């Protein structure tokens, strides 16, 4: 074991209680998808910690979204730097922390956002602190934390900031939810959220039904047509997840709305996906109705590039050398901001955060020991970059 690696690992081991304490502190900060003040509070806390490590940091503020934290430790070197990526918002509703406070039982931590993804951010911060304590100065270390990932950056330009801030870096580690089966994510589908609205003609359901034009009936035809667009061979799936319409059973409804979730592998497929939905909207099943389509928001796919796979091999080597198990390259349907670091030309691996399961649910949990293991894993990956 190299001297720097040994010192960094010793630092992590010596600060286990401190890491868990910070984990509990930030999980206890309410930062659900619409809790802007809470997200900003988390951002302020992480900024405070990184500033004490000598980081040049700043917060990018948005009117309707939580702040984004950008921090860099160390001056730019001849060798390009390393990025740690994450998000500070959770998918938990307001009040979740009161119902499910941070708790550890039998080596498992529970609480809103404990896995997705406050634990991963704590691991990344302590990997940076450990590297610094060990005297590492070969590359600058950058942190990019979004405040609105769970709502697909609907009210910010965070994707553009990710791409701009990542350009020219050697590698990125996204501390998204880690998997208990040791899968390391090398590819993710993109997510597109699209709204379709139908306007019809209202009428009394008893006295004047023949003059009504049901928006719900029209939408029912369109929902079936949208679902049939799914193409498993291309890895494109369509899901109508929300439907709204009508006011009372005694009236022919003059309005209906659906939200469509689309998952896709190739960034170039998005224009055609939107056109397919627009074609469904343009076909009229109930005469006298009309439909419109609005692209709401989304996250681009994380492409599996040669650079991504080369970085995965470094992770695999570090994993096995340190007795953490044997990881495998995993591709998943959920989106993440790794898409944007890859689009910036930066090799990226995702799901490097603490391991656990049931995120986005009241049963969310994380394995406590993985908090320390993942910090050490990232330390060794950064050190191994210098041996290539």
- Residue 386 pLDDT greater than 90, yes or no: no
Tell me the whole-structure pTM to 2 decimals: 0.92
CA distance 34 to 320: 40
- Residue 388 pLDDT greater than 80, yes or no: no
Average pLDDT over every residue of 34-56: 97
305-333 pLDDT, tens digit per residue, is: 999 999 999 999 999 999 999 999 999 99
Q: Which CATH architecture has domain 3-187+302-385?
A: 3-Layer(aba) Sandwich (3.40)
Burial profile 206-242: b = 16 or more Cβ within 10 angstroms, e = fewer: eeeeeebbbbbbbbbbbbebbeebeeeeeebbbebee
CATH code linked to domain 190-299: 3.30.70.360
- Residue 130 pLDDT greater than 80, yes or no: yes
Average pLDDT over every residue of 270-299: 97
* pLDDT band at residue 54 using 50, 70 and 90 as cut-offs: very high
CA distance 6 to 251: 73
Q: Alpha helix locations (H) across 191-337? A: 215-227, 270-282, 306-321
Average pLDDT over every residue of 119-139: 97
Q: What pLDDT is recorded for position 2?
A: 87
Whether the domain at 3-187+302-385 and the domain at 190-299 fall into the same CATH topology: no
CA distance 372 to 364: 19
Q: What pLDDT is recorded for position 337?
A: 97
For the chain, the structural domain boundaries read 3-187+302-385, 190-299
Q: What pLDDT is recorded for position 116?
A: 95
Strands 171-174 and 82-87: parallel
Q: What pLDDT is recorded for position 75?
A: 81
User: Cis (ω within 30 of 0) for the bond into 50?
Assistant: no
Q: Which residues contact 309 (CB under 8 A, 6 or more apart)?
A: 186, 329
253-263 pLDDT, tens digit per residue, is: 999 999 999 99
Pull the structure tokens for residue 329.
Answer: 């390259």
- Residue 1 pLDDT greater than 80, yes or no: no
pLDDT, averaged across the chain: 96
End-to-end CA distance of the chain: 17
Q: What pLDDT is recorded for position 77?
A: 75
CA distance 143 to 317: 24
Q: Which residues contact 369 (CB under 8 A, 6 or more apart)?
A: 107
Average pLDDT over every residue of 360-365: 93
Smallest Cα–Cα separation from 30: which of 93, 87, 84? 93
């Amino acid at each position: 074991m190299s001297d720097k690696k040994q010192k960094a690992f010793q630092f992590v081991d010596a600060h286990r209680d401190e890491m868990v304490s910070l984990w509990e502190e930030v999980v206890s900060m309410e930062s659900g998808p619409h809790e802007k003040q809470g997200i900003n509070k988390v951002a302020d806390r992480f900024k405070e910690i990184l500033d004490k490590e000598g980081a040049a940091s700043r917060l990018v503020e948005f009117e309707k979204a939580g702040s984004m934290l950008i921090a860099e430790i160390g001056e730019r070197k001849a060798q390009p730097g390393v990025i740690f990526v994450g998000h500070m918002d959770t998918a938990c509703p307001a009040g979740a922390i009161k119902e499910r406070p941070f708790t550890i039982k039998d080596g498992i931590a529970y609480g809103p956002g404990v896995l997705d993804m406050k634990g991963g951010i704590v691991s990344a911060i302590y990997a940076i602190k450990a590297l610094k304590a060990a005297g590492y100065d070969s590359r600058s270390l950058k942190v990019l934390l979004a405040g609105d990932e769970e709502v697909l950056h609907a009210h910010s330009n965070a994707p553009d900031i990710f791409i701009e801030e990542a350009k020219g870096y050697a590698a990125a580690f996204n501390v998204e939810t880690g998997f208990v089966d040791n899968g390391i994510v090398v590819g993710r589908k993109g997510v597109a959220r699209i709204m379709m609205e139908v306007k019809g003609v209202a009428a009394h359901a008893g006295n004047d039904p023949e003059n009504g034009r049901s928006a719900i009936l029209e939408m029912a035809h369109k929902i079936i047509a949208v679902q049939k667009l799914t193409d498993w061979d291309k890895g494109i799936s369509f899901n109508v997840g929300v439907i709204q319409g009508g006011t009372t059973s005694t009236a022919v409804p003059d309005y209906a709305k659906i939200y469509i979730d689309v998952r896709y592998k190739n960034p170039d497929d998005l224009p055609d996906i939107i056109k397919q939905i627009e074609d469904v909207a343009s076909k009229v099943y109930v005469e006298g109705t009309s439909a419109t389509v609005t692209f709401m928001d989304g996250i681009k796919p994380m492409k599996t590039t040669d650079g991504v796979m080369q970085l995965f091999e470094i992770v695999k080597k570090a994993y096995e050398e340190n007795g953490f198990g044997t990881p495998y390259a995993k591709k998943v349907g959920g989106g993440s901001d790794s898409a944007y670091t890859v689009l910036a030309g930066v090799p990226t691996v995702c799901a490097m955060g603490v391991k656990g399961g049931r995120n986005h649910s009241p049963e969310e949990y994380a394995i406590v020991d993985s908090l320390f293991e993942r910090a050490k894993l990232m330390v060794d990956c950064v050190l191994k970059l210098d041996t290539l």
